[in-house]
Amino acid sequence: MGRVTVRRPVRKLTPNGDRRRLDTLAAEEPLEIRISGTPLAVTMRTPGHDVELAHGFLLSEGVIGAKDDVTLARYCDSVDDTGRNTYNVLDLTLADGVPMPDVGVQRNFYTTSSCGVCGKAALDAVRLKSRFAPGDSTFTISPTVLSTLPDALRQQQRVFAATGGLHAAALFTSDGTLLAVREDVGRHNAVDKLLGWALLANRVPARDTGLLLSGRASFELVQKAAMAGISLIAAVSAPSSLAVELAEDNGMTLVGFLRGESMNVYTGNGIE
């Protein structure tokens, strides 16, 4: 699995005693995203699908809305102590006519939970920035089909199976087909990688797909889905209160506690 996982010695304690063995850990490294050489953001991620991650991040920030909005993505020289390129700095070039994003404090004002912005301001920010209204979608799925998706997702979580340490996200169709699955130590990175895949595959706005989350549904993840035009989100765990408000405000269907044939539908009419 290369840089996606790391092997480390561990002391394992059990009722039968203790022993030392090697354990497989999910890799976590910083990725700096630059625009034409200007640093924009740093995220701690699992290496892999970095170009997708950067495209998805820019999409969810409202910087780009189509594949052609980025003309070049390349790794910069960033070497470790051995002189090898770490591939931890990615520089993107925007197409002519695509405005440079604001790299100041306000650029990310509605996507973090620590920014101190009130809920109403955060909801309004997403509505104003989104190019693709999720409420325009007619996407629906049956509860029978939806109930099969968590197991289907787990079967494709290859790195999670080896480490137990990654979040996953998937895009799915109304017949239950998983179009793409991405894993990462950060749930927001997993979604950004997935949205980047959709953008590069010319599937944005993604109104004909739903978003499946292996964990909880936070405001940030619903915001990212809304920015891509996704109208239905299904999470294995609970949503937050602001995530429910945002989904309702944008005409989205939000499902939580998707476990077997049981689920909670918090907003929307996409479950038929």
Positions annotated as catalytic residues are 115
- Residue pair 224/199 in contact by the 8 Å Cβ criterion: no
Strand ranges (E), 155-216: 167-172, 178-184, 210-213
Structure tokens at 147: 């109930």
CA angle 247, 193, 248 (to 5 degrees): 0
Q: What share of the chain is helix, strand, coil (3-state, %, to 5)?
A: 30, 30, 35
Give CA angle at 238 (235, 243), nearest 5°: 85
Question: What residues contact 161, with CB distance under 8 A and at least 6 apart?
Answer: none
